[in-house]
Structure 1
Amino acid sequence: MRVLMFGWEFPPFISGGLGTACLGLTKGLASLGTEVSFVLPRLETGEDASHLDLIGANQIRSTVGVREVAELTNRVKVLEVLSPLRPYITEKEYRSILETERNLRIEDIVGELDSDFSGGYGENLMAEIVRYGVIGAHLATKGDFDVIHAHDWMTFPAGIEARRVSGKPLVVHAHALEFDRSGEHVNQQVYDIERAGFEAADTVIAVSHYTRDRIITRYSIPPEKVKVVYNAVSRDRRFGALRLHKPYKEKIVLFLGRITLQKGPDYFVEAAAKVLKQYRDVRFVMAGSGDMFPRMVELMADKRLADRFHFLGFVRGTDVERIYAMSDLYVMPSVSEPFGITPLEAMVHDVPIIVSRQSGVAELLDNAVKVDFWDVDLLAKSILEIITDDELSAELARKGAETLKKIRWEQAAEQVIDIYSQLCGEQA
Structure 2
Amino acid sequence: MFGWEFPPHISGGLGTACYGLTKGLAELKDVEVTFVVPKAYGDEDQSSMELIGANNVPLTRKEVHFEDLQTKIDYYEVESGMVPYVDPEEFWKLSSKKYTEKTRFVETTEEGKLEFSGKYGADLLHEIYKYSLVAEVIARDSEFDLIHAHDWLAYPAGIAAKEMSGKPLVIHVHATDFDRSGGSVNPSVYEIEKRGMDAADQIITVSNLTRRIVIEKYGIDPEKVTTVYNAVEPVSEQEKVKLKKGVDEKIVTFLGRITMQKGPEYFVEAANLVLKKMNNVRFVMAGSGDMMDAMVRRAAALKISDRFHFTGFLKGDDVFDMFRMSDVFVMPSVSEPFGIVPLEAMQSNVPVIISNQSGVSEILNYAIKIDYWDTHAMADAIYGLLNYPALWNTFKKYGKEEVDSLQWRKSAKDVREVYIKALD
TM range (shorter): 0.7 to 0.9
Secondary structure of the corresponding residue to residue 392 of structure 1: helix
Residue 336 of structure 1 aligns with which residue? 335
Q: Is the 8 A contact 1:171 1:204 kept in 2?
A: yes
Following the alignment from structure 1 to structure 2, what is the Cα–Cα distance between the partners of residues 371 and 90? 29
Shift of 1:405: 3.3
Q: Is the 8 A contact 1:36 1:53 kept in 2?
A: no
Q: Is the 8 A contact 1:151 1:175 kept in 2?
A: yes
Distance 1:311 1:44, change over 3 A: same
Instruction: Between 248-257 and 294-303, report the one with greater CA deviation.
Output: 248-257
Following the alignment from structure 2 to structure 1, what is the Cα–Cα distance between the partners of residues 420 and 146? 9
Matched, 1:46 2:43: yes
Residue 66 of structure 2 aligns with which residue? none
1:230-241 alignment, distance < 5 Å? 230-236=229-235, 238-240=238-240
1:160-179 alignment, distance < 5 Å? 160-179=159-178
Q: Deviation digits for residues 56-82 of structure 1, max 9, x if unmatched? A: 56669999xxxxxxxxxxxxxxxxxxx
Q: Is the 8 A contact 1:86 1:122 kept in 2?
A: no
> Which of residues 4, 7, 15 is equivalent to 2:3?
7
1:40-119 alignment, distance < 5 Å? 40-48=37-45, 56=53, 87-90=86-89, 114-117=115-118
Following the alignment from structure 1 to structure 2, what is the Cα–Cα distance between the partners of residues 243 and 270? 28
Shift of 1:130: 0.9
1:7-46 alignment, distance < 5 Å? 7-33=3-29, 34-46=31-43
Q: What is the identity, as a one-letter code, of the residue corresponding to 1:38?
A: F
1:3-402 alignment, distance < 5 Å? 5-33=1-29, 34-48=31-45, 56=53, 87-90=86-89, 114-117=115-118, 123-236=122-235, 238-240=238-240, 246=246, 248-402=247-401
Q: Is the 8 A contact 2:11 2:86 kept in 1?
A: no
Which has the larger helix fraction? 1
Secondary structure of the corresponding residue to residue 88 of structure 2: coil
Shift of 1:243: 6.8
Residue 79 of structure 1 aligns with which residue? none
Structure 2 unaligned regions, length at least 5: 61-82, 97-113
Secondary structure of the corresponding residue to residue 299 of structure 1: helix
Following the alignment from structure 1 to structure 2, what is the Cα–Cα distance between the partners of residues 270 and 137? 49
Distance 1:382 1:362, change over 3 A: same
Shift of 1:87: 3.8
Q: What is the identity, as a one-letter code, of the residue corresponding to 2:38?
A: P
Q: Taking structure 1 as the reference length, what is the TM-score of the superposition?
A: 0.84
Structure 1 unaligned regions, length at least 5: 64-83, 101-112
Q: Taking structure 2 as the reference length, what is the TM-score of the superposition?
A: 0.84
Instruction: Between 400-409 and 285-294, report the one with greater CA deviation.
Output: 400-409
Q: What is the identity, as a one-letter code, of the residue corresponding to 1:18?
A: L
Q: What is the identity, as a one-letter code, of the residue corresponding to 1:415?
A: D
Following the alignment from structure 2 to structure 1, what is the Cα–Cα distance between the partners of residues 195 and 58? 24
Shift of 1:123: 3.1
Q: Deviation digits for residues 114-139 of structure 1, max 9, x if unmatched? A: 54436xx8634332211110000110
Q: What is the identity, as a one-letter code, of the residue corresponding to 1:24?
A: G
Following the alignment from structure 1 to structure 2, what is the Cα–Cα distance between the partners of residues 86 and 386? 33
| Matched-pair identity in % | 50
Distance 1:212 1:49, change over 3 A: farther
Distance 1:300 1:128, change over 3 A: same
Distance 1:277 1:61, change over 3 A: farther
1:411-426 alignment, distance < 5 Å? 411-424=410-423, 426=424
Aligned length: 383
Following the alignment from structure 1 to structure 2, what is the Cα–Cα distance between the partners of residues 422 and 297? 49
Following the alignment from structure 1 to structure 2, what is the Cα–Cα distance between the partners of residues 51 and 349? 21
Name the Cα RMSD after superposition. Answer: 2.7
Following the alignment from structure 2 to structure 1, what is the Cα–Cα distance between the partners of residues 124 and 56? 17
Q: Is the 8 A contact 1:328 1:352 kept in 2?
A: yes
Secondary structure of the corresponding residue to residue 307 of structure 1: helix
Residue 105 of structure 1 aligns with which residue? none
Instruction: Between 212-221 and 45-54, report the one with greater CA deviation.
Output: 45-54
Shift of 1:399: 1.3
Q: What is the identity, as a one-letter code, of the residue corresponding to 2:203?
A: V
